């Protein structure tokens, strides 16, 4: 299976920046094992997030790598796993991202990928 990288640029809803930061701290701390299980179940080898302050407001830049990256969102939408449901609710509440719907607009297009 090919290793795939997915990149998502998601606006953080006005007034939700502190909630996003708290969620990230939870994923790095108390929910670290649950996130590792999530990654394993979905075939992800890496999950990372950056905060980008833009003129349009704060954005999360999320990266997920691994063979399961391509179909992560549809599988997440169908899951009844407690952690997955909470993850999905956080995406909706903080970013307005409904994983049951296709994303608005095209996915990011890879134009440069240079490695040493």
Task: Quickly state the pLDDT bin for 106 (edges 50, 70, 90).
Answer: confident
Residue spans per domain, the chain: 13-95
R_g (Cα) of the chain, nearest Å: 14
**pLDDT for residue 3:** 66
Task: Quickly state the pLDDT bin for 104 (edges 50, 70, 90).
Answer: confident
Mean pLDDT of the chain: 91
Please report which helix (H) or strand (E) contains residue 17, including its range: helix 17-28
Alpha carbon distance 95, 17 (integer Å): 10
Question: Mind listing the pLDDT tens digit for each residue in 50-82?
Answer: 999 999 999 999 999 999 988 898 999 999 999
The alpha carbon of residue 61 and the mean position of all alpha carbons in its chain are separated, in whole angstroms, by 8
| Percent over 90 (pLDDT), the chain | 72
Q: Which two tokens stand for residue 48?
A: 């990372």
Mean pLDDT of 83-105: 91
The answer to whether the CB of 63 falls within 8 A of the CB of 6 is yes
């Amino acid at each position: 299976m090919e290793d795939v990288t997915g990149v998502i640029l998601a606006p953080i809803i006005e007034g939700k920046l502190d909630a996003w930061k708290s969620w990230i701290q939870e994923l790095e701390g108390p929910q670290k094992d649950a996130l590792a299980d999530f990654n394993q179940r979905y075939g992800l080898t890496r999950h990372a997030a950056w905060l980008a302050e833009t003129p349009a407001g704060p954005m999360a830049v999320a990266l997920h790598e691994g063979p399961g990256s391509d179909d992560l969102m549809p599988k997440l939408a169908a899951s009844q796993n407690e952690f997955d449901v909470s993850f999905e609710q956080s995406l909706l509440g903080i970013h307005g991202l409904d994983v049951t719907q296709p994303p608005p607009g095209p996915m990011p297009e890879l134009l440069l990928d240079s490695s040493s």
